[in-house]
Structure 1
Amino acid sequence: METICAPCGVVLAWCKFAKAEGVAKILKFLEDVYSDSASHSSYIAIDKGCALLKHIVRQGHWLACEPTTCIIVDSYHYINHWVTDHLCWTWCNPAPLNGDAPNLVVVSNDKQGNPYYKWAFNTQACEQLNAWIGGNFDFTMHVLLFIHTQWVIAKQEKKKRKQEAGIEVVESDEESEDEEDSESEEESEEEESEEEKD
């Protein structure tokens, strides 16, 4: 699962990637979410930011928001990127101190009044969400399976009541029927049983 989060942790969008988190899929996801320049953010912080930027440059496939959006690597993953990777350290640095990105790094003061540099916003919001999801995965699965079980039991009880009332129950091969389809089938079954009674 891939997510896009605001620095405060609010989830803006999510999608599922089959098998792998490739840069082409990431680019497609970003294009779907940021389809025009009005919807973009100033920075996109992603663990594979430099790989994504290399892919975009090689393909010549620029995002609609490219002129005013910078792709950076989030601070958590950036420390593991090679110092010798010039593209990464020059263009995807989440904390450049050369003045190129004054919105990423601000000067703050410690308790003694000494100035120090700090990140202006949280680039690790998605990683923190992943940690939260991981910690709550078992509970989430338990709740989903409990709800599914209650649904199946209710469906079986409804079927049993129909059989006890003498209404013919038609077995369906497809378990994932539309709610409307299910309702229209039930209505037609009830109409048929009323015709038989007449």
Structure 2
Amino acid sequence: MANIPSFIDRLLSVNDTANPSLTHCIKEAEIDDRRYSLSLYNAFQDLFNGLPLCAMISGRIFCMHGGLSPQLESWKQLAAIKRPFDPPNKSIAMDLLWADPENNMNGWAKNSRGVSYIFGADVVKDFTDKMNIDLIARGHQVVQDGYEFFAGKRLVTIFSAPKYCGEFDNNAGVMIVDERLIISFDILKPAIREVTIRARGTSKNASTRSMLVSSRGPKSKMG
């Protein structure tokens, strides 16, 4: 677990685990530069496999990419996870990366993503009470306003990519925690800006239009 407030801690996400998309990117890079190869892919995986799975903020806010695990019953279980590693299926690590909260249900059920679980608000309430924490902060799902609370504000989903993949009209959110553990959200709204993209070897007049997401919205605060 990461727990060093004076440093930036970057948590592991599902996009960092071994997957065909990264392999595809590396192979595409090989077309332009033969220095980029499978060895570069493996170097990325070595880096990703050493990233923290979760973080604790002042013992009160539990952070991860995905969600909770039905196997997680104590913090000692997290400390016992050997790193670096490629997260195995049906493990606490896999659930921390892939699990999702779900409205209108109780308990646990299989996740439609084909890996890990979905869990109800009752699971969140039981977990926060048992582990004596105030909030679970996670990502993994697009939410329209950049952040979205669940289970009576005991869990918050934060999504920091505005206009995700060009397919959603969502805002992005950044959660800010001050020294009193009061949280606020900086909202980034999608904005259209014209940019010029010129392919290699084409004239200066050859251009296309692209979407750039950058504008800031107002902050929202919560005590």
Range class of TM-score, shorter chain: under 0.3
Greater fraction strand? 2
Higher relative contact order (CA 8 A, sep 6+): 1
* TM-score, with length taken from structure 2: 0.25
Q: Which has the greater radius of gyration?
A: 1
Greater fraction helix? 1
